[in-house]
Structure 1
Amino acid sequence: MIFQRSGWVAGGLVLALAGCSGGASEQPRVVTASAPQVQIRDLFVLGAEPPAELAPGSEAAVYGTLVARMGGPGDRLVAVTSPDFVAVSFIQGGTIALPAGKSVSLNTGGGSKVVLKGLRNAAPGGTSTTLRLRFERAGEMTERVRIVARQGRYRTFSNAPAGTSPPA
């Protein structure tokens, strides 16, 4: 199986893992990472409601907060990919601007600005996947992130919208 229950990889980045693993009442771990130009906070992929799992072919929403460092020119998220998904992700608006020093949430309030397309294998909550985030100036950051079951405080997050298509 592609997904692993452990083995958090930072690829040279500093990781701070928050929360605990275990029962449904505990908070799952999500990733917070930093590079010289960009900080990523609370990054995760939203899974299915238990006991279901994301089925092959599914779309999955990515949530978290991105911050371009103060004093710099800002940055722009231009792509998000995962080897566990067939297609390049959909980014609402094509790219996401990151003004210097400002927090930019991937949550629109009605869903995520980033949707992964075409899951290769079934993925239950609690497993993980590798995300590659490509920024215009900062380059690429690769993070191993948790697929969080849509339960507890994560029940309020929206699933990936059906039929999301990339911009023309």
Structure 2
Amino acid sequence: MNFAHTVRAVGAPVASALLAGALLMGCSDDPTETDVSPASGIAGQIGQISIRDLFVLGGEGGATIQKGGSAPVYMTLVNSPGEVETLGPSDAPDPNAGTDALTSVSSPQATSVKIIGGPVSLPAGQNVRIGPAAKIVLRGLKQPLNSGDFVAVTLRFKRSGSGSLNAPIQAREGDLQSYSPAP
């Protein structure tokens, strides 16, 4: 038996066992227990922007946010341009090379969405965390928001275009107590 055959013969079952173990590590005896950490949000990609841990903050202790109310949106954005043009039109270094910006957010669930303080600058290669202070707020909710449901959120970027993701609604409890409710 050669080395490559041995690696395939032993590696596949070991990899399967490791994968099964990793999947089971998050399980608990309580099937109603929920993970309320920001890592419970969803991830996605719009152009060169990676979206991580996107979620909408629900009511205190899982309370419903009523129709007409407001709810903040939290996430981490990472701008990873493929190629960064470093020279401007005059062959001088361009200080904005590779930067992008979150210019607007919308949701069919809200009559409006406010980015407090204006567009969010996204320097190339940097993580930009939106939270724990409320910066993006869904206003004038068209129907109640319940923890565990999802809300469609469309993000628009200056250079990367736009895209929609379904963000989970997380109860404001546990690790999320430090996150601000909508102002």
Task: Bin the TM-score by the shorter chain.
Answer: 0.7 to 0.9
Q: TM-score, normalised by structure 1?
A: 0.76
Partner SS for 1:129 = strand
What is the rounded CA distance, in whole Å, between the counterparts of 2:34 and 2:118 in structure 1?
Answer: 36
Matched, 1:116 2:138: yes
Kindly state the Cα deviation for residue 51 of structure 1 after the two structures are TM-superposed. 4.7
Q: Which residue of 2 aligns with 1:49?
A: 60
1:102 alignment partner in structure 2 = 126
- Taking the aligned partners of 1:47 and 1:146, their CA distance within structure 2 comes to 9
**8 Å contact from structure 1 (residues 24, 151) kept in 2:** no
Spell out the pairing of 1:67-82 with structure 2 (5 A cutoff): 67-70=78-81, 71-72=83-84, 73-82=98-107
Corresponding residue SS for 1:47? strand
Displacement after TM superposition at 1:94 (Å): 1.4
Aligned residue-pair number: 139
**In structure 1, distance between residues paired with 2:80 and 2:126:** 8
Letter in 1 for 2:162: E
Q: Distance in 2 between matches of 1:84 and 1:24?
A: 27
Once the 2 structures are TM-superposed, how far is the Cα of residue 32 of structure 1 from its aligned partner?
1.0
Counterpart CA distance in 1 for 2:70 and 2:114 is 10
Q: Which residue of 2 aligns with 1:26?
A: 35
Report the CA distance between 1:24 and its aligned residue.
4.3
Aligned AA (1:26): D
Whole-angstrom distance in 1 between the partners of 2:180 and 2:45:
26
RMSD: 1.9
Task: Give the superposition deviation at 1:36.
Answer: 3.8
CA 1:50–1:158 in structure 2 vs 1: closer, same or farther (change >3 Å)? same
Quote the Cα distance in structure 2 between the aligned partners of 1:61 and 1:24.
23
Of structures 1 and 2, the larger Rg is shown by 2
Runs of 5+ consecutive residues of structure 2 not aligned to the other structure: 1-25, 85-97
Query: Percent of pairs identical after alignment?
Result: 37
- The 1:93–1:27 alpha-carbon spacing in structure 2 relative to 1, beyond 3 Å, is closer
Is 1:129 aligned with 2:151? yes
Q: CA deviation at 1:96?
A: 0.5
SS in 1 for 2:138: strand
Query: 1:80 Cα shift?
Result: 0.5
* Equivalent residues of 1:24, 1:152 under 8 A apart: no
Deviations 1:52-76 (A, max 9, x none): 2011111111111011114431200
- Cα deviations across residues 117-167 of structure 1 (Å, max 9, x unaligned)? 111111111101000000000010210110101111112211011xxxxxx
Higher helix share: 2
Using the TM superposition, give the Cα deviation of residue 35 of structure 1 relative to its aligned residue in structure 2, in angstroms: 3.5
2:45–2:51: 8 Å Cα contact kept in structure 1?
yes
